[in-house]
């Protein structure tokens, strides 16, 4: 399965076009490093949470929008080789010398895909999730996520991906582990559900929440749902 590099970025809302321009200019460079797909999702329906949320994950200010993005690689070896090449590539240094966002608050990491269920159709909207899962519950989480993916597809989703934390560094200001208040025995999961458009997604969610298959015994959940957070994102850029 693919290897996913996930990012959450706080971008001043006024810098939307500057961010898109920089991301678009980076596409041909990343392709040379083996990236097979790049998606940049602009925050659209990103709720505040009681314990955790996307805004808190990157300490977003009121004048900032959260961007949920990912790059896909064919495998971890390609990802690792790409990261080594990027360190010394002058194009990368030039590209990010004048960033339209605060790079110190970006969170990022490498994730090994454990579920990737697709259906035909374009992706015009995405729901993003960040989930703390006890490391010993990996099998149980994958089984639950695989069953849930079938339900999502039944209601119109075009793709469901669950990626298990593999190369998730600690940050000085922010990071994925802090974002979900992960304990030492937990792994962070980076997940997304793609939809053909927002209308399909909005119509599906009430039905999904009422579906008995999506109402498991909370005492047997393989993760702490109170520390999971999610949001809806409009793709600014989707390069295959």
Q: Are 55 and 9 in contact (CB under 8 A)?
A: no
H/E stretch holding 84: helix 76-88
CATH code of the domain containing 179: 3.30.70.100
H/E stretch holding 55: helix 54-57
Mean pLDDT of 84-107: 89
Distance of CA 224 to the CA centre of its chain: 18
The pLDDT value recorded for residue 1 is 80
pLDDT at residue 213 is higher than 80: yes
3-class SS string, 157-203: CCEEEEEEEEECCCCCCCCHHHHCCCCCCEEEEEEEEEECCHHHHHH
Q: Are 6 and 54 in contact (CB under 8 A)?
A: no
| Cα dihedral sign, 89-94-9-151 | negative
Q: Are 105 and 75 in contact (CB under 8 A)?
A: no
Structural domain boundaries enclosing 147: 3-239
Q: Which residue has the tokens 């010398």?
A: 97
The pLDDT value recorded for residue 33 is 95
**Model confidence, pTM:** 0.96
Cβ count near 76 (within 10 Å):
15
Considering its fold, how many domains does the chain have in total? 1
Q: DSSP code of 136?
A: G
pLDDT tens-digit series, residues 185-211? 999 999 999 999 999 999 999 999 999
pLDDT tens-digit series, residues 25-48? 999 999 999 999 999 999 999 999
Cβ count near 172 (within 10 Å):
7
Cα–Cα distance between 24 and 18 in angstroms, integer?
A: 10
Q: Percentage of the chain with pLDDT > 70?
A: 100
CA nearest neighbour of 149 among 99, 85, 93, 214: 214
* Beta bridge pairs of residue 108: 7
* Beta bridge pairs of residue 109: 6
| Max CA distance (Å), the chain | 53
Q: DSSP code of 238?
A: E
């Amino acid at each position: 399965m693919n290897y996913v590099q996930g990012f959450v970025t706080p971008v001043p809302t006024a810098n939307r076009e500057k961010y898109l321009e920089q991301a678009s200019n980076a596409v041909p460079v990343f392709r040379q490093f083996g990236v097979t797909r790049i998606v940049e999702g602009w925050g659209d329906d990103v709720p505040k949470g009681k314990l955790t949320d996307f805004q808190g994950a990157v300490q977003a200010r009121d004048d900032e929008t959260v961007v949920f993005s990912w790059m896909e690689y064919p495998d971890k070896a390609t990802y690792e080789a790409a990261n080594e090449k990027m360190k010394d590539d002058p194009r990368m240094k030039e590209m990010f010398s004048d960033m339209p966002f605060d790079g110190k608050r970006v969170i990022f990491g490498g994730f090994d895909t454990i579920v990737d269920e697709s259906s035909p159709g374009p992706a015009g909207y995405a729901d993003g999730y960040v989930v703390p899962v006890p490391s010993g519950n990996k099998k149980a989480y994958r089984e639950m996520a695989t069953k849930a993916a079938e339900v999502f597809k039944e209601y119109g989703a075009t793709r469901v991906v669950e990626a298990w934390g593999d190369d998730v560094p600690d940050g000085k200001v922010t990071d994925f582990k802090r974002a979900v208040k992960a304990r030492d025995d937990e792994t962070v999961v980076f997940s997304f559900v793609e939809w053909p458009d927002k209308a399909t997604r909005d119509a599906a969610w009430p039905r999904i929440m009422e579906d008995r298959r999506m109402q498991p015994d909370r005492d047997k959940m393989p993760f702490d749902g109170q520390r999971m957070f999610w949001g809806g994102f409009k793709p600014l850029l989707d390069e295959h």
